[in-house]
């Protein structure tokens, strides 16, 4: 048995065989050829295309039988692309012109097509990008002769092991089969961690390099997402631990059911609103199950990471589903926060040197205005089914906020022009997750109705620490004084402007931090639904006076460890 330690990011314990996920999309061989090799390379291309064609035809027939003509039409489009003589001509031209192998000619073709399609103003043309990716990956799969691993195809219970996992990998995976996750990189606030918690899958991230190479497919793995422990070939002690954890979980669920009916409040009766973060609409069942009073953050971009760009109707349907399930309780839908680690090649967000400092979130939407307004119209239309609010991510200047509000006004007009009913007084808010926004929150407060503090990014940008890089995860301290000052500043500006301030970063889901934040003045905390019962219990054990005194003391301290020690000693956690 071998034990490895990593960062505990999603609670729970499980044992299952390892499934090694290696994304081979980046590994496209590239080598020089001579003119004499061109015909041989073309033959390879024809052969791989033929195999891809057979595969697509089978998929089309299956789709027609299972899902109907409309779904099958996607594959017809793929077949048309494969049969297009221009594709053959372009590959031949590229082989002769560049004298590189056929895999790299196909890769160049893909890049060129993606650039061309994604720069189109027509969303229908933009949507074709995913078709190009699909067809190209299929041909490359046959050329490179590697099986295309898809996380949606997993049929038995496994522990997913990977170097890194992108949110888009996780969105499509077959969740009920993934009993645990272990990755070499990643941190507590990386999106893989957030999704693991949302899907209630025990996860240990950041176990360090080489783990993937040391585990064989099918080897038994024990994952403890609370202690951050991974055991390869676990012995009897670990097997017993897993059994005990399963029993404890049943008891925990029973106790939480009782707590669901109780409102969150401090010992002396100050009401605190505990709302939930969700990524996918089907998480709304958990939101209700764990007794959230609303949705404080719907990360809408996850609807876009499933392989295609949803149009207005589809988005409207998904938002409405969530809003209706919440039965009048508030639902804050954050507009598309794409970019950074949430990569969407279909939309052309590719190839940046510093994606986290690049074309992300509102910056992307202010350029792709049709896509942005499509989403805004979908949200506006869903707003008549309950209490919806719109939130803009990554606002870093007042200009951005004003432009976003301008596009929202246009979207409202467009809805009206098409005869759609909307909530005309829908509230709009912004994420405070870039230091410049916290510093200028007094000015920003004049152009929006609420703030939601995003400590995941606020810490990342304040401390210059990539939230997904385990090498520097130690710098991402829970109570860094600079971050605390920015939080306090935001709360102060919000109070002064009489607008609502809440916090939806992962910090809200930590019991000790929740007390600190309430002591600093927050009355609404948004977190993964799973965390709500524990936070409720902790808040019920302190008075507001105690929390305020603790916060005052904490804010006078200079190091995270001092604050940690203070909270642990005073809170009995």
Which residues of the shown chain bind Mg ion in the complex (CB under 5 A)?
433, 454, 457
Residue 456 CB, nearest approach to ligand PEP (Å): 3
456 binds ligand PEP per the rule CB under 6 A: yes
**Which of 400, 457, 466, 477 lies at the binding interface for ligand PEP (CB under 6 A)?**
457
- Torsions phi, psi of 524, nearest 5? -135, 130
Binding partner at 242 among Mg ion, ligand PEP, none, C-beta below 5 to 8 Å by kind: none
Residue closest to Mg ion when measured from CB atoms: 457
- The span from the CA of 519 to the CA of 268, in Å, is 13
Minimum CB distance to ligand PEP smaller for 494 or for 505: 505
Return the C-alpha torsion angle 114, 120, 122, 123, nearest 10: 40
186 binds ligand PEP per the rule CB under 6 A: no
| Residue window 273-302: x/- pattern of binding to ligand PEP, with contact defined by CB under 6 A | ------------------------x-x---
Query: Do the strands 295-299 and 330-334 form a parallel or antiparallel pair, or are they unpaired?
Result: parallel
Helix (H) or strand (E) holding 114: helix 102-118
**Which of 230, 303, 323, 504 lies at the binding interface for ligand PEP (CB under 6 A)?**
504
The residues near 48 (Cβ < 8 Å, ≥ 6 apart) are 139, 140, 142, 143
**Which of 164, 337, 400, 427 lies at the binding interface for ligand PEP (CB under 6 A)?**
337
Binding partner at 505 among ligand PEP, Mg ion, none, C-beta below 5 to 8 Å by kind: ligand PEP
Sheet holding 13-21, edge to edge: 2-5, 229-232, 220-224, 13-21, 158-162, 178-183, 203-205, 7-10
B/e letters for 532-571, b = 16+ CB within 10 Å, e = fewer, are bbbbbebbeebebebbeebbebbbebeebeebbebbeebb
**Which of 455, 513, 538, 560 lies at the binding interface for ligand PEP (CB under 6 A)?**
455
Structure tokens at 305: 């990471």
Place of tokens 């077949």: 79
- CA-closest candidate to residue 378, choices 342, 414, 328: 414
DSSP 355: G
**Which of 505, 511, 519, 533 lies at the binding interface for ligand PEP (CB under 6 A)?**
505
454 binds ligand PEP per the rule CB under 6 A: yes
Which of 78, 142, 191, 385 is the catalytic position? 191
- CA-closest candidate to residue 163, choices 128, 123, 192: 192
Minimum CB distance to ligand PEP smaller for 127 or for 433: 433
Q: Report the alpha-carbon angle 179-181-183, nearest 5.
A: 165
Residue closest to ligand PEP when measured from CB atoms: 454
Residue 457 CB, nearest approach to Mg ion (Å): 4
How long is the chain? Answer: 573
Minimum CB distance to ligand PEP smaller for 18 or for 192: 192
- Contact range with ligand PEP by CB under 6 A, out of 83-91, 287-295, 317-325, 454-462: 454-462
Determine whether 191 is an active site residue. yes
| Residue window 32-71: x/- pattern of binding to ligand PEP, with contact defined by CB under 6 A | ----------------------------------------
In DSSP notation, 473-490 reads GGGS-TT-HHHHHHHHHH
The helix/strand/coil state of 38 is helix
- Torsions phi, psi of 86, nearest 5? -65, -35
Phi-psi group of 269: left, alpha or beta (phi > 0 → left; psi -120 to 50 → alpha; rest → beta): left
Minimum CB distance to ligand PEP smaller for 49 or for 189: 189
Minimum CB distance to ligand PEP smaller for 45 or for 451: 451
Minimum CB distance to ligand PEP smaller for 87 or for 349: 349
- Contact range with ligand PEP by CB under 6 A, out of 37-45, 47-55, 74-82, 455-463: 455-463
Structure tokens at 526: 């948004």
Packed helices 102-118 and 85-98: angle between N→C axes, nearest 10 degrees: 120
Residue 281 CB, nearest approach to ligand PEP (Å): 16
Which of 415, 440, 448, 504 is the catalytic position? 504
Minimum CB distance to ligand PEP smaller for 132 or for 390: 390
The helix/strand/coil state of 5 is strand
- Using CB under 6 A as the binding rule, the residues of this chain from 419 to 448 that contact ligand PEP are 433
Minimum CB distance to ligand PEP smaller for 457 or for 510: 457
Helix (H) or strand (E) holding 451: strand 450-453
Size of the site for ligand PEP (CB under 6 A): 11
Binding partner at 504 among Mg ion, ligand PEP, none, C-beta below 5 to 8 Å by kind: ligand PEP
196: Cα within 13 Å, side-chain hemisphere: 35
Alpha helix (H) residue ranges in 368-397: 369-382
Binding partner at 286 among ligand PEP, Mg ion, none, C-beta below 5 to 8 Å by kind: none
Query: Do the strands 427-432 and 450-453 form a parallel or antiparallel pair, or are they unpaired?
Result: parallel
- Contact range with ligand PEP by CB under 6 A, out of 151-159, 246-254, 344-352, 450-458: 450-458
- Contact range with ligand PEP by CB under 6 A, out of 141-149, 368-376, 451-459, 542-550: 451-459
Residue 272 CB, nearest approach to Mg ion (Å): 22
Binding partner at 455 among ligand PEP, Mg ion, none, C-beta below 5 to 8 Å by kind: ligand PEP
The helix/strand/coil state of 267 is coil
Catalytic residues: 191, 504
Per CB under 6 A, residues contacting ligand PEP are 194, 297, 299, 337, 433, 454-457, 504-505
């Amino acid at each position: 048995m071998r034990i490895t330690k990593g960062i505990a990011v999603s609670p729970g314990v499980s044992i299952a065989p390892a499934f090694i996920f290696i994304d081979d999309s980046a590994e496209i061989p590239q080598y020089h050829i001579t003119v004499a090799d061109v015909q041989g390379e073309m033959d390879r291309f024809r052969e791989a295309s033929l195999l891809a064609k057979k595969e697509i035809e089978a998929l089309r027939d299956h789709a027609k039988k299972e899902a109907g003509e409309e779904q099958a039409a996607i594959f017809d489009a793929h077949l048309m692309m494969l049969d297009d003589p221009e594709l053959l001509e372009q590959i031949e031209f590229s082989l002769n012109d560049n004298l590189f192998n056929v895999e790299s000619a196909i890769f160049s073709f893909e890049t060129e097509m993606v650039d061309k399609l994604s720069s189109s103003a027509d969303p229908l043309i933009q949507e074709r990008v995913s078709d190009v990716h699909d067809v190209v990956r299929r041909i490359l799969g046959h050329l490179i002769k590697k099986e295309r691993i898809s996380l949606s195809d997993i049929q038995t219970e496994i522990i997913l092991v990977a170097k890194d996992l992108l949110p888009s990998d996780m969105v499509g995976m077959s969740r009920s089969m993934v009993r645990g996750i272990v990755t070499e990189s990643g941190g507590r606030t990386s999106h893989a961690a957030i999704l693991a918690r949302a899907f209630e899958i025990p996860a240990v991230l950041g176990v360090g390099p080489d783990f993937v190479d040391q585990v064989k497919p099918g080897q038994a793995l024990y994952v403890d997402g609370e202690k951050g422990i991974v055991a390869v070939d676990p012995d009897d002690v670990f097997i017993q631990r897993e059994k005990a954890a399963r029993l404890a979980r049943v008891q925990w669920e029973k106790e939480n059911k009782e707590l669901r009916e109780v409102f969150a409040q401090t010992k002396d009766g100050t009401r605190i609103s505990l709302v939930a973060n969700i990524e996918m609409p089907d998480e709304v069942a958990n939101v209700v199950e764990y007794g959230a009073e609303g949705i404080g953050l719907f990360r809408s971009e996850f609807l876009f990471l499933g392989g295609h760009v949803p149009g207005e109707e589809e988005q409207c349907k998904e938002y409405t589903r969530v809003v209706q399930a919440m039965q009048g309780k508030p639902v804050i839908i954050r507009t598309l926060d794409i970019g950074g680690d949430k990569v969407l090649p279909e939309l052309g967000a590719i190839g940046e040197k510093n994606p986290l400092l690049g074309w992300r979130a509102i910056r992307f939407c202010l350029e792709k205005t049709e896509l942005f307004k499509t989403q805004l119209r979908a949200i506006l239309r869903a707003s008549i089914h309950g209490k919806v609010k719109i939130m803009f991510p990554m606002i870093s200047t007042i200009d951005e906020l004003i432009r976003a509000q301008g596009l929202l006004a246009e979207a409202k007009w467009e809805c009206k022009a098409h005869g759609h009913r909307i909530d005309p007084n829908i509230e709009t808010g912004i994420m405070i997750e870039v230091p410049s926004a916290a510093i200028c929150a007094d000015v920003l407060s004049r152009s929006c109705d609420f703030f939601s503090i995003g400590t995941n990014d606020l810490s990342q940008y304040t401390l210059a620490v990539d939230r997904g890089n385990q090498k520097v995860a130690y710098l991402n301290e829970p109570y860094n004084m600079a971050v605390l000052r920015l939080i306090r500043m935001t709360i102060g500006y919000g109070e002064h402007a009489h607008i609502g301030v809440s916090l939806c970063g992962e910090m809200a889901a930590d019991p000790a931090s929740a007390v600190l934040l309430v002591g600093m003045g927050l009355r609404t905390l948004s977190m993964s639904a799973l965390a709500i019962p524990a936070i409720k219990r902790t808040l019920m054990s302190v008075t507001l006076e105690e929390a305020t005194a603790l916060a005052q003391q904490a804010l006078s301290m200079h190091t995270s460890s001092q604050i940690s020690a203070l909270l642990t000693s005073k809170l009995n956690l």
